[in-house]
Amino acid sequence: MTTLSLPRPRTRPLISWRVRKLLIGYSYLVPAALCMLATVVVPIILAIKMSLYADVLYKPQDYRFIGLGNYVRLVQDPVFWLTLWNSVVWVFGSVILQFVFGFAAALLLQQAFRGRALVRTLTLLPWIIPGVVVGLIWEWLYQPNYGVINDLLIRAGWMHERVAWLSSPDLAMAAVVFTNVWRGIPFFAIMLLAGLQAVPDELYEAAHVDGAGVLERFWHITLPLLRPIIVVATATRIIWTFNYADLIFVMTGGGPANATQITSTYTLLQAYSSLDFGYAGALSVVLLLVMLTFTALYLRVTKGVEETE
Amino acid sequence: MTRRHVPRDLAERLLGGPVVWIGLVLLTAFALGPFIWMLLTSLKDRQELYATPLQYLPVRPTFENYVDAWTSPVTPFSRFFLNSLWVCSVTMVATTAVSVLAGYAIARFRFAGRDALLLIFLATQMFPSVLLIAPLLTQWRALGLVDTYQALIYSNFSFTVPFTVWMMVGYFSSIPRDLEESAMIDGCNHFGALCRIVLPLAAPGIAATAIFAFVVSWSELLFAISFTTETSMRTLSAGLLYMVGQYEVQWGPLSAGVILSTIPVAVLFSFLQRHLIHGLTAGAVKG
């Protein structure tokens, strides 16, 4: 028998190619995972732990485990319940108006006209500038003595006296909501504009030939086709507005007399001004629960939207 | 062109003509009016600023407020500006590096928990940052990082990384695999293929995402006021708020500060607008 010279068997690598590929994949994820772990996951766990302790930064001698003490205090705190109601007013007031005006803006910006690109960029400005800048600009506009809003309204004859918009308990919430609407219109405008541009022209033309008027075309073509993007944009905006504290913090600090205090600014003040980390922790857990509920709802709704498409 | 010959109804003629023009004028005026007012304010001297009745246009326009804001020893705006520039630049570079790797892994490797991971990145984007203030401050105090740039940069990751990873996954998924596979057959390893093939192709998207990370860090306020105590460590947002906190509000220098902090983001944004809008809506607008 002649010895058959077989090719030398390939040495089996210590780790199989498949596993190696997987390990490489995981190693690419490590930095991002560490970032999230250090800045989100661990802090959340820490916040939950804090909520179970009496933890006021400048009273270290009182630091101790108090179980659900902070939550009991929360339930009995009338300001907390007020902030929840204020949050509802703030979120729905802002988002509904942003949506309506943002939709109108999207329809306008979709028209063909000269200088459209420039107008689109300019109208986005309120959305991209820092929140503190928005707050300060509007504080100056609302300023009782030198603010241009009072001046214009008086000149137009709609008002006879100067109004202290941000320090009047009846007007402060409307004033901050209006500012937030100014800021948020561009968000809806760009989202809906992108949706509008994806609607094929043929649909409109066919409807046109069939004699459908402008309003009918809007109602039967534009709205149904835009439904997915409307749902996504509105849902993200609701969650985001609920969490958003910068604007109110800068403009009123939650005042006057908690008239504009929403749950997120209240949490911020407990952590930042009162340095009561225990109570802030309990409030954070509430924020977290509300956020998770919204997100779960959002995922369900968007999933539903995708399936019906 | 053929559309022109179809008779239009009254509503359409109105909507096509005057209504659109009036609407556009109102929209632009509403969006820009507050900025223009702030710009006019910043060009007035003290006397014009607090004149009664209100004086709308600066008669003797002056840049005094800008000089004041920039050089003030109490609220050193130039220092705030440089602090912001440094914090945001480092945040941008680090975030981009981290999210390029993670985005590539998620887009290219199938592994257990991939969908869950994506979902976590999505959910964290909706996260209230007020929730993180107390625990992060505790963490930074324990590590001795209060009043350091690191504390601000690390904290910024909490909101930049989830968003940029999400964007990167989108960009990488749109690049065909064949290109890398042929590179790997030619002897490139994964990392080599990523650097030589995938990154150049995804470069415009990556650049846009990086700039976006810069812009959102530029706006960050709550971490900046919570994790710094020294004036010299304040970023622009925190510094502007600090200017309000000093004595009575000096609207002249403050309005100059507002305009100065708006310009960089406005300029950056006009460059990346197209990319960003595409990325923001890619998940939502589908066929």
Number of structural domains chain B divides into: 2
B92 touches chain A (CB under 8 A): no
| Same-domain status, B108 and B232 | yes
For residue B84, which of B251, B240, B259 has the smallest C-alpha distance? B240
What is the per-residue pLDDT across B215-245, written as a single tens digit (0 to 9) for each?
889 999 999 999 998 888 999 999 998 888 7
Chains A, B: CB pairs < 8 Å: 277
| 3-state class percentages of chain A: helix first, strand second, coil last, to nearest 5 | 75, 0, 25
Give mean pLDDT, residues B37-42.
Answer: 92
Inter-chain residue contact B37 with A104, CB threshold 8 Å: no
A149 touches chain B (CB under 8 A): no
Average pLDDT of chain B? Answer: 83
Q: How many Å apart are CA A81 and CA B164, to the nearest integer?
A: 36
Two tokens, residue B213: 């990370």
| Same-domain status, B15 and B147 | no
What is the per-residue pLDDT across B66-92, written as a single tens digit (0 to 9) for each?
988 888 888 888 999 999 999 999 999
Q: Which residue has the tokens 């709704």?
A: A301
A290's CB contacts (< 8 A; 6+ apart) are: A242, A263
Model pLDDT, residue A309: 46
| Same-domain status, B28 and B71 | no
Indicate the residue type of A166: L
The domains of chain A are located at 17-64, 77-308
Question: How deeply is B147 buried, as exposed, middle or buried, from its count of CB atoms within 10 A (0-12, 13-18, 19+)?
Answer: middle
B80 touches chain A (CB under 8 A): no
Domain extent for B27: 2-63
Give mean pLDDT, residues A50-62.
Answer: 85
Between A35, A124, A136, which is nearest B157 by CB? A35
Q: How far is CA A115 from CA A22, A49, A121, B269, in A?
A: 51, 55, 10, 18
| Same-domain status, B91 and B36 | no
Q: How many Å apart are CA A83 and CA B55, to the nearest integer?
A: 39
Distance from the Cα of A29 to chain B's closest Cα (Å) equals 5
Model pLDDT, residue A79: 93
A206 touches chain B (CB under 8 A): no
Model pLDDT, residue B170: 82
Last residue of a domain, one of B22, B41, B63: B63
Inter-chain residue contact B38 with A239, CB threshold 8 Å: no
For residue B88, which of B243, B219, B203, B256 has the smallest C-alpha distance? B219
| Same-domain status, B36 and B70 | no
Query: Is residue B287 one of the residues assigned to a domain?
Result: no
What CATH architecture does domain A77-308 belong to?
Orthogonal Bundle (1.10)
Indicate the residue type of B50: Y
B101 touches chain A (CB under 8 A): yes
| Same-domain status, B199 and B135 | yes
Contacts of A105 in chain B (CB under 8 A): 27
A200 touches chain B (CB under 8 A): no
Contacts of A151 in chain B (CB under 8 A): 53-54
**Cα A216 from chain centre:** 33
| Same-domain status, B219 and B104 | yes
Model pLDDT, residue A21: 76
Give mean pLDDT, residues B192-219.
Answer: 84
| Same-domain status, B74 and B22 | no
Minimum mean pLDDT among A49-63, A176-190, B182-196: which range? B182-196
Query: Is residue B258 one of the residues assigned to a domain?
Result: yes
B228 touches chain A (CB under 8 A): no
Inter-chain residue contact B128 with A243, CB threshold 8 Å: yes
Selection from A85-94, A120-129, A193-202 with the highest mean pLDDT:
A85-94
Flag whether pLDDT at B187 surpasses 80. no
Q: Element (H or E) spanning B244, and its range? A: helix B236-245
Inter-chain residue contact A125 with B266, CB threshold 8 Å: yes
Contacts of B27 in chain A (CB under 8 A): 104-105, 108-109, 123
Give mean pLDDT, residues A259-284.
Answer: 91
Last residue of a domain, one of B17, B37, B63: B63
Torsion, Cα of B112, B118, B119, B122 (10° steps): 170
Give mean pLDDT, residues B205-211.
Answer: 85
- Percent of chain B at pLDDT exceeding 90: 31
ipTM rounded to 2 decimals: 0.86
Last residue of a domain, one of B48, B63, B78: B63
| Same-domain status, B34 and B98 | no
Model pLDDT, residue A9: 60
Please measure the distance between the N-terminal and C-terminal CA atoms of chain B and give it in whole angstroms: 26
CATH code, domain carrying B223: 1.10.3720.10
Confidence of residue B35 (pLDDT cuts 50, 70, 90): very high
Model pLDDT, residue B1: 41
| Same-domain status, B53 and B138 | no
Among B121, B126, B286, the residue to mutate for chain A (most A Cβ within 10 A): B126
Distance from the Cα of A5 to chain B's closest Cα (Å) equals 28
What is the per-residue pLDDT across B149-181, written as a single tens digit (0 to 9) for each?
999 999 999 989 988 888 888 888 888 887 777
| Same-domain status, B90 and B203 | yes
What is the per-residue pLDDT across A168-217, written as a single tens digit (0 to 9) for each?
999 999 999 999 999 999 989 988 988 888 888 888 888 878 877 778 88
Q: With contact defined as beta carbons under 8 Å apart, do A300 and A287 qualify?
A: no
| Same-domain status, B130 and B220 | yes
Distance from the Cα of A267 to chain B's closest Cα (Å) equals 7
